[in-house]
Amino acid sequence: MTIKKDQLLIDQILGGDKQLFSVLVDRYKKLVFTLCLRLLKNREEAEEVAQDSFVKIYKSLNKFKGEAKFSTWVYRVTYNNCLDFLKAKKRKFQELSVDAYDGFEIEDLDNAITVLEEKERKSAILSCINSLNEDDAFLLTLHYYEDQSVKEIAEIMNLSVANVKVKLYRSRKQLAVILKRRLSNDMLLKYGK
C-alpha cells in the first residue's frame, strides 16, 4: 500500500503540488537519518547530509521510474550522498561521547558499568566494521542494523543478488578475522603475555 501511496504522492509533486514533498520527508526522514548516522558516525554531519539527501531526492524525483520500491531508491540516493561526503571529507571514525549515550538511565554503579560495557562492545564491533572497506561496511550495516533483505541490498548497491550473498559471506569472514585479532590483542594487553 505504501508503494502506491508513494507513487501517487510523487505524481502529485511532479504535477506541481510541491507542498506534498513534506509528506515524503516525514515518511522517510528516520530511514535517511539513520542511514547517514550509521555511515558518518557523527550526529551533526548526519543531519547535514540527511537534509542534503532530501534536496537531491527532490531535485531528482523525476528520475524515479518506479522499477524498485521508492524506499530503495531513497536509500540509494542517500548512500551515494554519504559516500560523496566521506570522500570529500576523508575523515576518520569518531565515537559518540559517553555523555551522548541515552540508551539507559544510569541509576547506580552496577548499571553504569553495564552501560559502559555494552557501549564498549558496540563501539568495538562498529570500529571493526569500519575498518572494512566502505562497501563491505555499508553492506553489513544494511543487513544487520537496517534489516534490509539481500534483494533490497542488491537494488541499493546496484549489484546482483548472488554478488551480494558472496560479498556478505566474505565481509562476515573478514569481520570475524578482525574481531578475533582485536580480541587477542585486547587479551594480551589486559592479561599480559
CATH code of residue 21: 1.10.1740.10
Residue 175 domain-assigned (yes or no): no
Give whole-number Cα distances, 100 to 56, 81, 124, 128, in Å: 29, 25, 17, 21
Q: What is the pLDDT of residue 112?
A: 65
The angle at the Cα of 25, spanning 23 to 29, to the nearest 5 degrees, equals: 135
Domain that holds residue 80: 1-94
Residue 11 domain-assigned (yes or no): yes
Residue 99 domain-assigned (yes or no): no
What gap in Å lies between CA 136 and CA 140, rounded to an integer?
6
Residue 53 domain-assigned (yes or no): yes
48-96 pLDDT tens trace: 999 999 999 999 999 988 877 888 899 889 988 988 888 887 544 443 4
Does the structure show a pLDDT above 50 at 124? Answer: yes
Residue 179 domain-assigned (yes or no): no
165-180 pLDDT tens trace: 999 999 999 988 888 8
Does the structure show a pLDDT above 70 at 7? Answer: yes
Residue 37 domain-assigned (yes or no): yes
Q: Is 85 helix (H, G, I), strand (E, B) or coil?
A: helix
Grid-cell match 559517553, residue found:
98
Give the model's confidence band at 21: pLDDT under 50 very low, under 70 low, under 90 confident, else very high: very high
Does the structure show a pLDDT above 80 at 2? Answer: no
Residue 29 domain-assigned (yes or no): yes
Q: What is the CA radius of gyration of the chain?
A: 19
Number of domains in the chain: 1
* pTM for this prediction: 0.55
144-168 pLDDT tens trace: 777 788 998 888 888 899 999 999 9
**Cell triple for 146:** 537496517
**Cell triple for 140:** 553489513
Instruction: Give the mean pLDDT of the chain.
Output: 80
98-120 pLDDT tens trace: 444 444 454 556 666 776 777 77
Residue 13 domain-assigned (yes or no): yes
